[in-house]
Structure 1
Amino acid sequence: MSEEYEVMGVYSHSTKYEYKVGERGSRYRHGTFWFVRKRSDDMFEVRPLNAHHVPSGVSRLVSHEDFLQYYTPELAYYQENTMPCLDNLRKKVRMGRRYFNMGQLERAEQEFCDAVLLQDDNVDSNMGLSEVYAEQQQFTKLRSVLDKLMNIDEVFREEQRHKFNEFGINLRKKELYDDAIRFYSKALEVNDEDENLHFNIARAFYSKDLIKECRKHLRRAIDINPKMNEAQLFLRSVDKDIAFEKEMRRKEQEGRAAIARGLKKRSRNDAPESKRIKLEF
Structure 2
Amino acid sequence: MSEEEREKISGVFSSQAQAAVGTGTTSRKTIQKTYWFVEEREDGAVSVQPLNSNYVPSGPKQTIGREEFLDKYTPEPELYISTVYPKIQEMDSTVKRGEAHRRNHETYSAEYEFNHALDFDEQNVKANFGLGLTYLERGDTSKADDIFNRLVGIDAAFQPEHKHLFNEFGINLRKNGMLDQALEYYHKAEQLTQNDENLYLNIARAYFEKGDFKHCYRYLKKCLELNPDMEEAGLFWLYLKENGLIASDANDIPGFHPPENKKFKGVAKGPVKNFEIDF
Which protein has the bigger helix share?
1
**Alignment partner of 1:44 out of 24, 46, 59:** 46
Determine the structure 2 residue equivalent to 1:111: 113
Determine the structure 2 residue equivalent to 1:238: 240
Separation in 1, partners of 2:158, 2:104? 28
In structure 2, the CA distance between the partners of 1:7 and 1:237, relative to structure 1 (3 Å rule), is farther
**Paired letter, 2:116:** D
Tell me if 1:16 matches 2:25.
Answer: no
Separation in 1, partners of 2:246, 2:217? 16
Question: Does the 8 Å CA contact 1:35/1:46 hold for their aligned counterparts?
Answer: yes
Tell me if 1:34 matches 2:64.
Answer: no
Per the TM alignment, residue 40 of structure 1 is displaced from its structure 2 partner at its CA by: 4.2
Question: Does the 8 Å CA contact 1:89/1:118 hold for their aligned counterparts?
Answer: yes
Per the TM alignment, residue 97 of structure 1 is displaced from its structure 2 partner at its CA by: 1.3
Tell me if 1:221 matches 2:217.
Answer: no
Separation in 2, partners of 1:177, 1:192? 23
Question: Does the 8 Å CA contact 1:41/1:64 hold for their aligned counterparts?
Answer: no
Question: Does the 8 Å CA contact 2:135/2:144 hold for their aligned counterparts?
Answer: yes
**Alignment partner of 1:188 out of 180, 187, 190:** 190
Tell me if 1:127 matches 2:129.
Answer: yes
Per the TM alignment, residue 17 of structure 1 is displaced from its structure 2 partner at its CA by: 6.5
Question: Does the 8 Å CA contact 1:12/1:30 hold for their aligned counterparts?
Answer: no
SS of equivalent to 1:9: strand
Per the TM alignment, residue 233 of structure 1 is displaced from its structure 2 partner at its CA by: 1.8
Structure 2 unaligned segments of length 5 or more: list them. Answer: 1-7, 20-30, 249-279
TM superposition score normalised by structure 1? 0.75
What aligned pairs does 1:48-67 form with structure 2 within 5 A after superposition?
A: 48-67=50-69
Separation in 2, partners of 1:183, 1:30? 37
**Alignment partner of 2:86 out of 56, 62, 84:** 84
Determine the structure 1 residue equivalent to 2:27: none
RMSD: 2.4
In structure 2, the CA distance between the partners of 1:70 and 1:235, relative to structure 1 (3 Å rule), is same
Question: Does the 8 Å CA contact 2:240/2:246 hold for their aligned counterparts?
Answer: no
Whose Rg is larger?
A: 1
Determine the structure 2 residue equivalent to 1:94: 96
**Paired letter, 1:210:** D
Q: Number of paired residues?
A: 230
For structure 1, which segment, 153-162 or 118-127, has the greater mean C-alpha deviation from structure 2 after superposition?
153-162
Question: Does the 8 Å CA contact 2:224/2:233 hold for their aligned counterparts?
Answer: yes
Determine the structure 1 residue equivalent to 2:255: none
Question: Does the 8 Å CA contact 1:96/1:108 hold for their aligned counterparts?
Answer: yes
Question: Does the 8 Å CA contact 2:213/2:245 hold for their aligned counterparts?
Answer: no
Question: Does the 8 Å CA contact 1:96/1:109 hold for their aligned counterparts?
Answer: yes
Q: List, as ranges, runs of 4+ consecutive aligned residues in structure 1 with deviation greater than 4 Å.
A: 243-246
SS of equivalent to 1:155: helix
Question: Does the 8 Å CA contact 1:222/1:232 hold for their aligned counterparts?
Answer: yes
User: What percentage of aligned pairs have identical amino acids?
Assistant: 36
SS of equivalent to 1:37: strand
Per the TM alignment, residue 68 of structure 1 is displaced from its structure 2 partner at its CA by: 1.2
**Alignment partner of 2:76 out of 74, 92, 96:** 74
Separation in 2, partners of 1:138, 1:165? 19
In structure 2, the CA distance between the partners of 1:36 and 1:151, relative to structure 1 (3 Å rule), is same
Question: Does the 8 Å CA contact 2:56/2:120 hold for their aligned counterparts?
Answer: yes
**Alignment partner of 2:171 out of 163, 166, 169:** 169
Per the TM alignment, residue 161 of structure 1 is displaced from its structure 2 partner at its CA by: 2.6
Structure 1 unaligned segments of length 5 or more: list them. Answer: 1-5, 19-28, 247-281
Per the TM alignment, residue 55 of structure 1 is displaced from its structure 2 partner at its CA by: 0.6
Question: Does the 8 Å CA contact 2:135/2:143 hold for their aligned counterparts?
Answer: yes
